[in-house]
Amino acid sequence: MAFPQELSRSQVCGMMREELCQDQDFLRSDTHIFIILGASGDLAKKKIYPTIWWLFRDGLLPDDTYVVGYARSQLTVEDIRRQSQPYFKVEPDEQAKLQEFFSRNSYVSGTYDSSTSFQQLNTHLAGLHNGEKANRLFYLALPPSVYEDVTLNIRECCMGCGGWNRIIVEKPFGKDLESSNKLSNHIASLFREDQIYRIDHYLGKEMVQNLMVLRFGNRIFGPVWNRDNVACVVLTFKEPFGTEGRGGYFNEFGIIRDVMQNHLLQMLCLVAMEKPASTHSDDVRDEKVKVLKCISQLQLDSVVLGQYVGNPDGVGEAQKSYLDDPTVPPGSSTPTFATAVLYVDNERWDGVPFVLRCGKALNERKAEVRLQFRDVPGDIFQRQCKRNELVIRVQPNEAVYTKMMTKKPGMFFDPEESELDLTYGNRYKDVKLPDAYERLILDVFCGNQMHFVRSDELREAWRIFTPLLHKIESERIQPIPYCNRGPPEADELMKRVGFQYEGTYRWVNPHKL
């Protein structure tokens, strides 16, 4: 749905609600219950409760929706409100609406491995308005170590009998191919694939979702989106901060599992896939799986690993090294930076390097997709022309821009680099972009699985990365110390596979000029 710039937030929400009513038969009188398992945790208080509040505030949830928290802690709804409200973004005139939201909240305390506790949860759910016949949505905001117990108890004790039942599973989906298959097989033994929503929040981001529209909704990109014209594709994820006390989790998983194997690989699929037959969930995910099947297992000689050290010129956490984090085991060799080169061995992309690079404690916060095109043949400008690039900036400051050559204004006939720029902060000044979790949780209510990871897609992703991860860990491969931009060896790898970095041009956000 396209919204004119001059619409107010309430008008936009009203239009979205009307569309949902027409297309999904969605906002009817059925009772919906949203169950947050792990309601006492950081993810729940920082993301899930605020997201459900925003959807409720904007009138995008079904009218008869209840929210039930479940965790081991002895809490009340007031405790949950107090710990999560700092993340709610509540305007002064929304206090009555907020009170109405929390009047539809409740909380049940119980353990994750006890069927008795889940029976008590089910009794509570059944006691809500139309609870026996309600649609039930279970969000596992939990560590993967308890997934098996929790999903088994949900299946045996808490499934509704009159409506649909859906389950949202947070990443990480295993640590390697074997553990991922084990978890997938366990969940598949309890739920149908159309009931399972494996959430990767990057698939809910505005510019990631925009990739399909840019590619398949514009005639100008189709003819050049191939190996004949594209020299290199670079997918980047950079954070300016370190582990910030999450060293225990990060040390177990590392940057490849945390970012590359999921976020960056998902974006690669959207860049590389063929046009699906429709926007139906399975048609889109079928094409993504075909891309993954064309990628060989990643080899160590196509990877550069790094670990950040103290940077006196950095800010906050970036001033310390990874090993300075007290939650990181002494002498850890876990990489906090990685650059990897993958190839999609099919007719469209044969020979084109896809460079995935990600890291913590770097010089900026940025996530983007960059297609660098081949040199202009028959150059008549004495090598003054740089390569064209199409850049989709995911965060921050969402934008799409094309780096191109134009004549420098004035008397002289000299080319210079400029851009065609669609910066969202300029074009859509008064439009609030939804949070990724808002889009994805609403998709689950609607039953739309397009932006969720299917089991065969997950299996192919782990197939690509598992041998490399096992080699890194079994041989204790030492990462290269770095600060600021990352190891120079990563730049050398990119240059070796054909990426040309000129360093003469930098995009400036026009919204801040």
Task: Give the per-residue pLDDT at 484.
Answer: 81
Cα separation, 232 vs 495, whole angstroms? 10
The stretch 321-330 carries a mean pLDDT of: 89
Residues in the chain: 513
CA-nearest of 327, 318, 334 to 485 is: 318
Question: What count of Cα atoms within 13 Å lies in the side-chain half-sphere of residue 419?
Answer: 18
Query: Which CATH class name applies to 203-434+455-497?
Result: alpha beta
> CA-CA distance, 435 to 427, in Å (whole number)?
19
276/386: higher pLDDT: 276
What pLDDT band is residue 485 in, cutting at 50, 70 and 90?
Answer: confident
pLDDT band at residue 1 under the 50/70/90 scheme: very low
Least confident of 176-180, 216-220, 315-319: 315-319
- Radius of gyration in angstroms for the set of CA atoms belonging to the chain, rounded to a whole number: 24
Cβ-Cβ contacts under 8 Å for 137 (sequence gap 6 or more): 32, 33, 34, 35, 165, 166, 167, 168, 444, 445
Q: What percent of the chain is modeled with pLDDT above 70? A: 90
Answer yes or no: is pLDDT of 385 > 60: yes
Tens of pLDDT along 115-136?
999 999 999 999 998 888 899 9
DSSP annotation string for 436-503:
HHHHHHHHHHHT--TTSB-HHHHHHHHHHHHHHHHHHHHTTPPPEEE-BT--HHHHHHHHHTT-----
CB 396 within 8 A of CB 511: no
CB 44 within 8 A of CB 81: no
**pLDDT, tens digit (0-9, with 9 covering 90-100), for 21-49:** 444 555 455 899 999 999 999 999 999 99
Q: Indicate the domain borders of the chain.
A: 9-170, 203-434+455-497
Note whether 301 and 273 are within 8 A (CB).
Answer: no
* Per-residue pLDDT, 23: 46
Q: Give the sheet arrangement for strand 337-343, strand by strand.
A: 415-423, 399-407, 389-395, 366-373, 230-238, 353-359, 337-343, 303-308, 480-482
- The type of residue at 45 is K
pLDDT in tens, 388-413: 889 999 988 888 888 877 777 777 77
Measured at the alpha carbon of residue 418, what is the angle toward residues 415 and 423, in degrees to the nearest 5? Answer: 170
More confident residue, 166 or 8: 166
Residue of 32, 201, 263, 451 with catalytic role: 263
Q: For residues 375 and 387, give the distance between their C-alpha atoms in angstroms, rounded to a whole number.
A: 6
pLDDT at 271 over 90: yes
CA distance 417 to 237: 25
* pLDDT at 312 (0 to 100): 67
| Residue 32 is a catalytic residue | no
pLDDT digits over 344-370, tens only? 999 999 999 999 999 999 988 999 999
pLDDT in tens, 424-478: 777 777 777 778 899 999 999 999 999 999 999 999 999 999 999 999 999 999 9
Which pLDDT does position 287 carry in this prediction?
A: 96
Q: How many CB atoms lie within 10 A of CB 205?
A: 23
Q: Which of 15-29, 248-262, 447-461, 480-494 has the lowest mean pLDDT?
A: 15-29
The whole-angstrom separation of Cα 338 and Cα 257 is 11
Could you give the 3-state DSSP secondary structure of residue 95? helix
* Confidence bin at 4 (pLDDT 50/70/90): very low
Query: What gap in Å lies between CA 503 and CA 103, rounded to an integer?
Result: 56
Looking at the predicted structure, is the pLDDT value of residue 233 above 50? yes
The answer to whether the 9-170 and 203-434+455-497 domains have the same CATH topology is: no
Q: What is the pTM of this model?
A: 0.88
CATH superfamily entry for domain 9-170? NAD(P)-binding Rossmann-like Domain (3.40.50.720)
Q: Contact 401/417 with Cβ under 8 angstroms?
A: no
- Give the residue from 272, 396, 254 showing the smallest Cα distance to 338: 254
Q: What is the pLDDT of residues 54-64, one digit of tens each?
A: 999 999 999 89
